[in-house]
Homo-oligomer: A and B are copies of this chain.
């Protein structure tokens, strides 16, 4: 694996296809390198010129004297492979390919791209692109890009690193970031990612001391394990990762038809896994850049208690509404601190939001004490001040800043965001004092929530991961309900005891041995829609009824599916009432085994109220999955019902996740539906494993 310096800090660069015209794709990088003062060696390569933009040019890469760390390729697609082979032969560390016409175009392009991948795999040279828009390292003024924005501006170096699969959108993001004054050391667009990809760059950025925050834009991830490694490295290093994931993936998950599969659209898997590993997923560029901006002071509160200090009651209510909606805790100030505030400012609203009112103008001196009280007595993890246009006034703002600064004295590890309407030069003064500024109060709240999200994730650190045992291979052939339940029971999941009866007489005998009413279901590897064909009978009382039910079930099965092999009928006791859930796992092509848990029933299913985690998970993580559900209160015992046995449930979720991880290479998906949860324990009532060979087809699973 390369280092960040190998990729982004070359001492020499060759530009193949360099042009004398600084407005052309092959001319722009030469121009930018000169314009911004890159100190390394620049070798234009073009057989047509002796000199390119005043720099000596070479006919081919082979003609370049001395070492070449980095080679930029800006020639038509059909010429690219030859150039890359030359670069590999010269042991160039990194090749970047601007050229389009590869996998994004057609089959032929895909073939050429596969050759590029093979070249990179077989040698030490790394390849960025093809079909990308470039990169920069602003610390050394190294710009290898044809984005026209660098004619005007190169960001100052600083904590932010940006990786984007999209060239134009990555360019848009870096341009916006720089108009907003955000420092950025590294920027890279990865295009078709024939070799170097987003996950690797996140990992390299996470490891680099130069990087304090990572912004990523991606449509898919090529290496789930490396992404997770990168995210955990970033978390350990207390670096926020802001990950914009858009659109669908091209990875192409195979369609399987258990609910777990249909519920697990690619996007929701990405969403869950980004959250599981502490990355924040913004949905707009504005939100993404707001978070990068708010992270500049590198203060990440470790709790969700928000204090709001405001000049306007209305603004306070608006922010409190917004905070509550995001799940922040707008707890009240302690009574004695409220009393102290009221003594200083009789008309203030001292609860929280603390409405200091327009009276502040007459008594600015109390503000530092108000701030202190909120931090020390209110003990808020973060504060937001709402000062609107007063905060931007050239006369009021210095007083305000002085007071806020005094209140923060000795408490510089606490985050205090200011919502002000102010020109950039006044905002900069607040920023120099360590206060991020937002004009819109709701954006201030959202940014604070993101900082708390990171703080809590950094504090928690990586979750403990249970060990995955090595298990014997699954039995061959299709696995029906009976086989799946046996396998799960053997693995230690609680499964309803059932027995296969092969005759009416055996059914009658079973009824005699099982207490209470019975559930009877047809057992056949060929019949999946058991209910539809009348193959399920519930609440059977007594031996006679069991005998009759056996005959009826088998005869219905034969009528509905004359070709089906019928093993007999599964007889089990009726389970007690409880809350029906769905528990399962699917194997994701990017992230491997993913465990799924949700509430059962048609309503839950329509609302897709399910929670995902990369498997395996501990009981603690399983608990978080339950808490994720919108309908979690159903399990907590809503409306006077007894709470269900969450401990047993977490145990089952964790077990299922370990099972799925152990068999990730043999199964497509597994589903227990329902898993019934009681006030004491839980039990799998029906289950099915779909094996990886795909012997079951879409539409065959039934519950």
A binding-site residues for B, Cβ under 8 Å: 100, 149, 164-172, 175-176, 179, 217, 219, 244, 246-247, 283-286, 311-315, 317-318, 320-322, 325, 347, 358, 388-389, 421, 439-443, 599, 601-607, 630-631, 633-634, 638-639, 641
CB neighbours of A171 from chain B (8 A): 388-389
Which residue, A244, A312, A389, A599, has most C-beta atoms of chain B within 10 A?
A389
Q: Contact between A602 and B166 (Cβ–Cβ < 8 Å)?
A: no
Q: For residue A25, which residue of chain B has the nearest CB? A: B358
Lowest 7 A-B CB distances belong to which pairs? Answer: A169-B314, A166-B314, A168-B312, A284-B442, A247-B317, A172-B388, A286-B440
Minimum CB–CB distance for A351 against chain B, Å: 13
Q: Does the CB pair A286–B168 fall under 8 Å?
A: no
Which among A247, A421, A603 has the greatest number of chain B C-beta atoms within 10 A? A603
The count of identical subunits is 2
Among B170, B315, B606, which residue has its beta carbon within 8 angstroms of that of A172?
B315
Q: Are B166 and A313 in contact (CB-based, < 8 A)?
A: yes
Docked CA distance A171–B315 (Å): 11
Q: Which residue of B lies closest to A440 (CB)?
A: B286
Q: List 25 A-B contacts (CB under 8 A).
A: A165-B314, A166-B315, A168-B311, A168-B315, A169-B314, A171-B389, A172-B314, A175-B421, A179-B421, A217-B314, A219-B314, A244-B318, A246-B318, A247-B321, A283-B325, A284-B442, A285-B318, A285-B442, A601-B603, A602-B638, A603-B603, A603-B634, A606-B631, A606-B638, A607-B607
Nearest chain B CB to A444's CB is how many angstroms away?
Answer: 10
Residues of chain B lying within 8 A (CB to CB) of residue A638 = 602, 605-606
Tell me, in angstroms, the Cα distance from A216 to B601 when the chains sit together: 42
Q: In the docked arrangement, what's the CA distance between A427 and B236, Å?
A: 44
Chain B residues, CB < 8 A from A321: 246-247, 283
Contact of A168 among B149, B347, B358, B605 (CB under 8 A): B358
Cα distance A247–B316 in the bound complex, in angstroms: 10
In the assembly, what is the distance between CA of A587 and CA of B403, in Å? Answer: 49
Quick check: B322 and A172 within 8 Å, CB to CB? no
In the complex, which residues of chain B have a beta carbon less than 8 angstroms from the beta carbon of A170?
314
Min distance, Cβ A442 to any Cβ of chain B, angstroms: 4
Q: How far, in angstroms, from A489 to B58 measured CA to CA in the complex? A: 95
Residues in B neighbouring A169, C-beta threshold 8 A:
312-315, 318
Q: Which residues of chain B are near A176, meaning CB under 8 Å?
A: 421, 439
CB contact between A442 and one of B167, B286, B634 (< 8 Å): that residue: B286
Cα separation A645 to B638 with both chains bound (whole Å): 30
Q: Nearest Cβ in chain B — how far from A267, in angstroms?
A: 9
A325 contact set on B, CB distance < 8 A? 283
- Chain B's closest residue to A640 (CB) is B532
A312 touches B166 (CB 8 A): yes
B172 touches A389 (CB 8 A): yes
Chain B residue at minimal CB-CB distance from A244: B318
Report the separation of the CA atoms of residues A394 and B83 in the bound assembly, to the nearest whole angstrom.
37
Bound Cα distance A175, B389 (Å)? 8
Of A217, A634, A641, most B-chain CB atoms within 10 Å: A634
Q: How far is A284 from B440 in the complex, measured between Cα atoms in Å?
A: 8
Q: How far is A234 from B396 in the complex, measured between Cα atoms in Å? A: 40
Q: Determine if A322 and B283 form an interchain contact, defined as CB atoms under 8 angstroms apart.
A: yes
Residues of chain B within 8 A of A421, CB atoms compared? 172, 175-176, 179
Which of chain B's residues has its CB closest to A389's CB?
A: B175
Tell which of B246, B347, B639 touches A314, judged by Cβ atoms closer than 8 Å.
B246
Q: Kindly identify which residue among B100, B149, B602 contacts A641, using a CB–CB cutoff of 8 Å.
A: B602
Which partner residue on chain B sits nearest A217 by CB separation? B314
Q: Please give the distance in Å from A386's CB to the nearest CB on chain B.
A: 9
Given the contacts A607-B607, A634-B606, A314 and B164 also touching, CB distance less than 8 Å = yes
Asked whether B631 lies within 8 Å of A175 as measured between CB atoms, the reply is: no
B residues less than 8 Å from A164 (CB atoms):
314
- Within the assembled complex, what's the spacing in Å between the Cα atoms of A125 and B421? 38
- Chain B residues contacting A601 (CB-CB under 8 Å) are 601, 603
Q: Which residues does chain B contribute within 8 Å of A317, judged by CB atoms?
A: 219, 246-247
Kindly state the separation between the CA atoms of A168 and B386 in the bound complex, as whole angstroms: 11
Cα A604 to Cα B439 in complex, Å, equals: 39
Write out the residue numbers on chain B whose beta carbons fall within 8 Å of the beta carbon of A149. Answer: 389
How long is the Cα–Cα vector from A421 to B634 in the complex, in angstroms? 48
- Alpha-carbon distance between A654 and B421 when the two chains are bound, in angstroms: 49
Name which residue of chain B comes closest to A442, CB basis.
B284
A103: min CB distance to chain B, Å = 14
Shortest Cβ distance from A396 into chain B, in angstroms? 9
Which residues of chain B have C-beta atoms less than 8 A from A283's C-beta? 321-322, 325, 442
**A443 and B318 in contact (CB under 8 A), knowing A168-B312, A312-B169, A606-B634?**
no
Given B172, B179, B313, B599, which contacts A603 in the complex, CB threshold below 8 Å?
A: B599
Other A-B pairs beyond A172-B421, A284-B318, A286-B439, 5, CB < 8 Å: A168-B358, A168-B388, A283-B325, A284-B322, A601-B603
Give Cα A634 to B603, complex, Å. 6
Please indicate the chain B residues that have their CB under 8 angstroms from the CB of A441 in the complex.
284-285
A443 contact from B284, B313, B358, B439, Cβ within 8 A: B284
Residues of B with C-beta under 8 A to A641: 602
Contacts of A217 in B (CB 8 A): 314
Query: CB distance B168 to A639 under 8 Å?
Result: no
Please name all residues of chain B whose beta carbon is closer than 8 Å to the beta carbon of A100 when the two chains form the complex: 347
In whole Å, how far is A392's beta carbon from the nearest beta carbon of chain B?
10
Complex alpha-carbon distance, A179 and B247, angstroms: 36
Q: Give A630's nearest chain B residue, CB to CB.
A: B607
Q: Which residues of B contact A313 (CB under 8 A)?
A: 166, 168-169
